[in-house]
């Protein structure tokens, strides 16, 4: 622009905002919770995650509960683990 302004394509803006809205819930997770969620996305069980991170299965369960709570996945959601993994994959 002649006045020194900037022009942004509305489609670019929409994509940036859409990406932010998909990743926002994951920003509430701690680094360890994100690590656990990434391993969940690989299809690993709690036991396998615990072994990989050198923690107890109870610790993994606690992290998973934190993930579910921060992603607003209530206990009545039968597929909380799947929904959490989908949220993770959509954020990539």
Summarised one tens digit per residue, pLDDT across range 6-62 is: 566 666 556 555 554 555 788 999 999 999 999 999 999 999 999 999 999 999 999
**Domains of the chain (ranges, CATH numbers):** 31-91 (1.10.10.10)
Of 19, 37, 30, 39, the residue nearest 92 (C-alpha): 19
Provide DSSP, 37-80.
HHHHHTT--HHHHHHHHTS-HHHHHHHHHHHHHHTT--TT-TTH
- Verdict on whether the full-model pTM lies above 0.85: no
Tokens of 48: 């396998």
What whole-number distance in Å separates Cα of residue 70 and Cα of residue 30? 10
Scan for tokens 């934190």, then name that residue.
66
């Amino acid at each position: 622009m002649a006045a020194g302004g900037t022009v942004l394509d509305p489609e670019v803006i929409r994509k940036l905002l859409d990406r932010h809205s998909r990743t926002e819930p994951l920003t509430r997770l701690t680094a360890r919770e994100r690590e656990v969620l990434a391993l969940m996305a690989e299809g690993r069980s709690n036991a396998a995650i615990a072994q990989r991170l050198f923690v107890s299965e109870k610790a993994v369960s606690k992290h998973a509960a934190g993930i579910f709570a921060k992603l607003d996945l209530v206990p009545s959601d039968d597929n909380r683990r799947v929904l959490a993994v989908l949220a993770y994959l959509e954020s990539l």
